[in-house]
Structure 1
């Protein structure tokens, strides 16, 4: 791939990421949420109670970030944390009734954001986007850095 194409591709991905996060922040603010907190709520709604370390892994976040999010969501009454019965060092995180109600609102906002994001695209393109983005995410997450001359480190 030539540099101009690579630059256009990287710039498009960067701008989409920044703008999507900013738009999500705008939509979530009236609910008292910051970006990332909605993902935690949605994950708990999908899976049920989880050990905080598992939640960290599921969200792809560092444990201290999840700890901070859970503390804030607990203080606002949307989740509850309690020691795991089998391992007192582990913490189980679960939604409260307030958290379940908030998650329903988040789902509505998430649908609206997705629809806004793909406005004007043909349905067949929209259907392909999740798979394409997953492939891109997997590629970035599994590749080792390349040497500037095309050799992998250590080769």
Structure 2
């Protein structure tokens, strides 16, 4: 009898991720935004006035990597840093009108890619797939937490 650990799926997940990224980048090229930049804009659109470390937590990225993304977005005119009134060492992140102007177009690109990627799937099949992937993610995150726990 086959056990779950006997079924190799890591390469397939990696391939799907790479293909999704490639096609997203190709479609979004006209805006000059990378996926990481788009994710940051999208998160700030939903929850503006975040500190950089809060944005990093929301995006599940390292703060230094988010800092580089924000630096590029600021240089391109999509994000501005404003002083935090409660902590003069910190900055709050805000979208510019330029960023707000591309949100709907970028959402349409995302929707179109999801539509193309899920062609032939039912909503129930996709929901089940997402539930399984969510459980796999939870299991892997639990491994991280176990690694970080102090020895008993």
With the shorter chain as reference, the TM-score category is 0.7 to 0.9
Show structure 1 runs of 5+ residues with no match.
147-153
State the distance in 1 between where 2:5 and 2:126 align.
28
State the distance in 2 between where 1:3 and 1:57 align.
30
* Equivalence for 2:63: 63
State the distance in 2 between where 1:145 and 1:93 align.
29
Deviations 1:120-140, CA, capped at 9 Å, x for gaps: 112211233433332222222
* Equivalence for 2:103: 103
TM-score by length of 1: 0.84
Equivalences, count: 146
Show structure 2 runs of 5+ residues with no match.
none
TM-score by length of 2: 0.85
Deviations 1:92-148, CA, capped at 9 Å, x for gaps: 1111111111122111111111111111112211233433332222222222599xx
* SS of the residue 1:89 aligns to: strand
* SS of the residue 1:33 aligns to: coil
When residues 123 and 71 of structure 1 are mapped into structure 2, their CA distance, relative to the original with a 3 A threshold, is same
Q: Does 1:10 align with 2:10?
A: yes
Greater displacement, 131-140 / 92-101: 131-140
* SS of the residue 2:87 aligns to: coil
CA drift at 1:34: 1.1
Deviations 1:13-47, CA, capped at 9 Å, x for gaps: 11111111212221222110112111101101111
CA drift at 1:59: 0.4
* Equivalence for 2:82: 82
Q: CA RMSD in A?
A: 2.2
Q: Does 1:127 align with 2:124?
A: no
